[in-house]
Amino acid sequence: MAGLLRRFLREVYEALQAYGAIYVSGACLPGTPPSQGPVRREGPPAAHPERLRPDVALTAVERALERQLDAGS
């Protein structure tokens, strides 16, 4: 029984390591050649709800955040 539990916990540990490696490494997914690396995009896709809309004015809070971001760069 102890051997079965030890084997199960080892499998869980290895699965958690693989899952965490995706978020920690930032390089590429396991099995992906390093030359291809992660895909970088310029902002959200066209139908994404966070896509900027020039026809909608910014709120006061959004304008304040924009000023803070612009001041930092």
pLDDT given for residue 34 in this prediction: 56
pLDDT given for residue 6 in this prediction: 94
Per the CB < 8 A criterion, the answer to whether 66 and 58 are in contact is: yes
pLDDT given for residue 47 in this prediction: 67
Torsion (CA) 49, 54, 57, 58 in degrees, nearest 10: 60
Spell 50-73 as b/e; 16+ CB within 10 A means b.
Answer: eeeeeeeeeeeeeeeeeeeeeeee
Domain boundaries, the chain: 1-38
* pLDDT tens digits for range 3-57: 899 999 999 999 988 888 777 655 555 565 555 555 565 666 666 666 667 777 8
Tally of CB atoms within 10 A around 35: 6
Say what the pTM is: 0.33
pLDDT given for residue 73 in this prediction: 63
pLDDT given for residue 63 in this prediction: 86
